[in-house]
Chain A
Amino acid sequence: MSFIRIYAIIMRHLYLYKGRSLPRFLDILFWPVVTILTWGFLSLYLNDINLSNLNFVSIILGAVIFWEITQRTQQSISIYFLEDVWEKNFLNIFVTPLTLAEFFSASFILGVIKIIITCAVLFVISFFLYHFNLFMLGFTLIPYVANLFLFGVSVALFINAIILRFGTSAQVLAFGVIFIIQPISAVYYPVSALPLWIQPVSSIIPVTHVFEAMRETMQGVPFNIQSFLIATFLNIAYLLVAWLFFKHMFASVKKKGLLLKVQN
């Protein structure tokens, strides 16, 4: 593993933010801000009409920010991958000594950087506009965020493997797949609100356990170690499967001579 090669890939993407790409800045800030504003005002309204004793601001904004972590991680890693597809750069970088592991370590670090910036903005807006402090979760925030991030990475790896095999015709997956997972991940409502037949499916999604545990913590229940362990175990398993799937697709693409064609 060469850190300078990882650094090369990180910088190759960070150069794009050097004062010449407004859409890229908007991608980091615009949609997360719009989302937090929309849900934030809805939460205030629900609190005002006093439907129950629940604090909607805490529950909904906590869910929104947590979901943004998974969604933005997946999308950012997939878009960094697509940048090299769009720019027809795969052949250039894979004829250097760069390894697949280094390539994805760089994507992983870029994902972390983007999530830190996005979350910082969301924390500030939710704190000043809605008096919601996600840090009230204390140290439990770390295992929650780590699991949300890892799941985003696994989904991104899986999507990138499909894009690698089928080219830009599959790029729509980078923007859409995560939203198929959202309704059954208990993001805004508990698993018990889902139809009985779909609950087992929901339980094998790691982030379901994070959202359930997050809601409990916000209602004063101590950190649920069991939920954390299940989510972590599932995440490690999915990450391993997604990585093996990507490597398999990469080998298959090389065997079929499609690496150059993936760009077209």
Chain B
Amino acid sequence: MPINVIETRGLVKDFGDFRAVDHLDLNIEEGKITGLLGPNGAGKTTTIQMLLDIITPTEGTIKIFGKEFPRFKEQALAKMNFSSPYVSLPTNLTVIENLLTFARLYSVPNPKKKIAELADFFEIQHLLPRITMSLSTGQLTRVNLTKAFINDPKLLLLDEATASLDPDIADKTRKALKKIQSERGVSILYTSHNMVEIEELCDYVIFINKGKIREEGTAKELVEKFGHKDLNDVFITIAREED
């Protein structure tokens, strides 16, 4: 029986009269890359932020690694990490200073060795002494991913990790992600608006709209179910559907 690293039951988030997340029951399986998809305002970011205890849910429960969250938050967050191009690292520190800071925040033993190993993998050795503000978008994404793997996370939340990257860098980033995920068996919850990327990366896909799960399954299953040629068309159909 598959083990779930994330389980939410009846998860609700209201902002005043607006319901951003509406009784969401998520099951994110261990060791898989799960795509969380939906149009803008579907509730993806709010859901991810509730899974990181950045937003407090209005109702419902969250279990991460089988334990109540945020009750056991400190233990859970130590085994998790997060990356988004919309959340920057301090730009006035060098890359190595930023990575050392996060290695210490995650109590990584021998942080310099860990950084060297990851810098090698993500090909950022030459960027380590540079001031973060001097990096290009592609370089920043690789630094963010290095930070995301600094604590050998068991669960990684990636919010549009390849947004604003050119196709070449995006492809390299996806391949690097896929490689490191398969080597380490990390469970990844991945949001993206790039359906080609989702088809390439994700083992399982969950579509949400208006805060509710609309469809879930493998990319292939969903394409077949809707009778479309690809996931992009499935996305458009779900995004345009009414309640």
Q: Which residues of A contact B (CB under 8 A)?
A: 2, 4-5, 7-9, 11-12, 15-16, 21, 83-84, 87-89, 91-99, 251, 254-257, 259-260
Contact = CB atoms under 8 A, between A and B. Distances in A.
12 contacts: A4-B104, A5-B107, A8-B105, A12-B101, A15-B94, A15-B97, A87-B92, A89-B88, A95-B81, A97-B74, A254-B54, A257-B49
B55 A93 contact: no
B37 to A, nearest CB: 21
Contacts, number: 91
A205 B174 CA distance: 59
A7 B108 CA distance: 13
Contact of A89 (B82, B89, B104): B89
User: How would you classify the secondary structure of chain A's contact residues: helix, strand, loop or mixed?
Assistant: helix
Interface residues of B, number: 34
Given A12-B90, A254-B54, A7 B77 contact: no
B56 A2 contact: no
- Counting chain A CB atoms within 10 Å of each CB, the highest count among B75, B80, B97 belongs to B97
A93 B46 contact: no
Nearest to A21: B92
Please name the 7 residue pairs, one residue from A and one from B, whose CB atoms are nearest each other, closest first.
A8-B104, A96-B105, A87-B90, A12-B101, A95-B52, A15-B97, A97-B77
Given A5-B107, A254-B55, A15 B49 contact: no
A96 B102 contact: yes
Interface in B92-131: 92-94, 97, 100-102, 104-107
B54 A5 contact: no
Given A5-B105, A7-B104, A251 B89 contact: no
A257 B77 contact: no
- Counting chain A CB atoms within 10 Å of each CB, the highest count among B54, B92, B97, B105 belongs to B105
Interface in B42-97: 46, 49, 52-56, 73-75, 77-78, 80-82, 87-94, 97
A12 B56 CA distance: 28
B106 A97 contact: yes
Contact of A254 (B56, B94, B107, B147): B56
Contacts of A89: 88-90
B168 to A, nearest CB: 27
